[in-house]
Amino acid sequence: MAASVAADGEKGGPVVPEGEGKWLTKGVGSVGVTSFLSDSGHEIATAVLPSFVTSTLHGSAASLGLIEGVSDALTGVMKLVGGPLANDPRRRRRIASGGYLGTALATGAIGLATAVWQVGVLRALAWASRGLRGPSKDSLLASLAPPRAFGRAYGLERAGDNLGAVAGPLAAAWLVAWLGIRPAFWFAFVPGILAAVAITVAAREARRRNTDGVREPIRLRFAGLRGAGLLRPMLPILLFEFGNLAVTLLILRATQLLHTDGRSAAGAASLAILIYAAHNAVAAVVAYVGGHWIDRAGPRVVFATGAALYVVAYAGFAVGSSSWWVLLVFFCLAGAGIGCAETAESALVAGLLPDRLRGSGFGLLGAVQAVGDVVATVVVGILYTALSPTAGFLYAAGWMLLSLLGAGAFTAGRTRPTWAR
């Protein structure tokens, strides 16, 4: 097709040759590399943080939980704040570059902390920067990829993120053994800085390829999101997130089950972490493959597949097994589920919205994900402790089943997504 069209045909949208050229450009590749490097740094810090707070600084488990809870909540809030800021192409490029730099600096500085409260402040700053930059990064990627390849572009980005979640913990284990706990944070700074460089390359490519048009005002544009048809698909996404547990609960369940099979506590924990690494590796592969599937079939079927995989995985965790290979299957099913669902969610927002609304759309998506994840983890944690692990995982499986049944809402909206054109 020789015609070039804007993402929505509206003023200020990026002009992209929809049927020409390769989808894997320098800009798209740079965003994928950014996600890999950034998540590697995050995971190094996350893997070391519990020991640093409790052993080095002599803090309590409660203080660690407070630090992580406040930081995760800030991430969700800042995603909602960062959404309207990312509607403007020029502003989104600066926020994306600055956000990755801010996260890297704050994460590395944790290694200099001498008190638990300092760790809390720095972790909160790092996670606030992470949340603020999220909608800008996702909108930037949509401006770099042709609409026909949104699924592949976001699949590549999610694959990079999940591969970072494999590399980070492995690097953390090596760094702690080689240098110790505190210096590991200083090295977590390195991939973070490289991520800031990589996203700057993508931002420059976006500036070269796209016209900025009229400067967009800073506002959520809720009415515009509703008119574009985004709110109805948010229902199954919210249902999904209400069942999307923090992976730490999966690791806890696996560790306890493995420990009952005659293994030592340390041996069970180590094996559970290795199985978790396999979960992330599967998520990376499935995200990439799922992105190609989205470009052919649309996000609805891929999202529904992710929810269905989680129903089976959580049912398996509810029943429980002390066999490591059975637990590996459950973890891999969950990894495949998140690889499908997250890629479908991002591709849906990118394809359904015009460029001037994408920042707000990704901000709303991020807020929904954060709120749902916090609620899911808190409620299942209470059920896990007060009743049984079986009750907690069956509760989560029920929400995933509801999201599967509601996946038909992905076809809603007055604006036809790019894959339906």
> Which of the four pLDDT bands, split at 50, 70 and 90, describes residue 21?
low
What is d(CA 324, CA 309) in angstroms, rounded to the nearest whole number? 19
What is d(CA 31, CA 138) in angstroms, rounded to the nearest whole number? 9
CA-to-CA separations, 371 to 79, 122, 136, in angstroms, rounded: 11, 22, 20
Position of tokens 């991020």?
366
> Can you tell me whether residue 19 is helix, strand or coil?
coil
Find the helix or strand (DSSP H, E) in which 392 lies.
Answer: helix 389-405
Q: What predicted TM-score, i.e. pTM, was given to this entire model?
A: 0.84
Helices (H), ranges, 228-264: 231-242, 247-259
> Which of the four pLDDT bands, split at 50, 70 and 90, describes residue 413?
very low
Q: Could you tell me if 162 and 340 are in contact, meaning their C-beta atoms sit under 8 angstroms apart? A: no
pLDDT at residue 237 in the model: 94
pLDDT at residue 211 in the model: 55
The pLDDT tens digits of the residues spanning 117-174 come to 999 999 999 999 999 999 999 999 999 999 899 999 999 999 999 899 889 888 888 8
Q: What is the mean pLDDT of residues 327-338?
A: 94
What is d(CA 213, CA 259) in angstroms, rounded to the nearest whole number? 60
Q: Could you tell me if 250 and 376 are in contact, meaning their C-beta atoms sit under 8 angstroms apart? A: no
The pLDDT tens digits of the residues spanning 183-193 come to 888 888 899 99
The pLDDT tens digits of the residues spanning 373-411 come to 888 888 888 888 888 899 999 999 999 999 999 887 766
- Of 177-181, 190-194, 262-266, where does mean pLDDT reach its minimum? 262-266
Q: Could you tell me if 127 and 49 are in contact, meaning their C-beta atoms sit under 8 angstroms apart? A: no
DSSP structure string for 168-182: HHHHHHHHHHHT-HH
Q: What is the mean pLDDT of residues 102-112?
A: 92
Spell out a b/e string for 225-235, using b for 16 or more CB atoms within 10 Å of the CB, else e.
Answer: beebbbeebbb
pLDDT at 359 exceeding the cut of 60: yes
Q: Report CA 188 to chain centroid distance, whole Å.
A: 19
The pLDDT tens digits of the residues spanning 204-223 come to 988 887 655 555 566 666 77
* Structural domains of the chain ordered from first start: 26-210 (1.20.1250.20), 220-415 (1.20.1250.20)
pLDDT at 357 exceeding the cut of 90: no
> Which of the four pLDDT bands, split at 50, 70 and 90, describes residue 421?
very low
